[in-house]
Amino acid sequence: EAGVTQFPSHSVIEKGQTVTLRCDPISGHDNLYWYRRVMGKEIKFLLHFVKESKQDESGMPNNRFLAERTGGTYSTLKVQPAELEDSGVYFCASSQGGLYNEQFFGPGTRLTVL
């Protein structure tokens, strides 16, 4: 069974540009989470989907970030326009069943904004 995949693995963009990160969860996993780790800091929650619905987006930094989950399958996280402080590693995780079941993490997308 394939794990959680994320694309791209690395992205380098200039301030003001737009970037879209993609996450493919494990098939059948209804819960999908986005997290971010800024260099030197802890991993922080961004938002949580259940199927295609946003359940909790309390961790989204501001309205430059837009997350979608089409048809309850893959998810995208768009940053527009990107700022320097958006640099970091963006992780996606998925889980099935209950909310406290194991979250399976992707390898992350490293975003660098110059």
For residues 106 and 57, give the distance between their C-alpha atoms in angstroms, rounded to a whole number.
19
- Regarding 93 and contact with other proteins (CB under 8 A), the answer is yes
Binding characters for other proteins, 4-43, by CB under 8 A (x = yes): x--------------------------x-x-x-----xxx
- 68 is a site residue for other proteins (CB under 8 A): no
Q: Does 3 bind other proteins (CB under 8 A)?
A: yes
Q: Residue numbers of the site for other proteins (CB under 8 A)? A: 3-4, 31, 33, 35, 41-45, 48, 55-56, 59, 91, 93, 95, 98-108
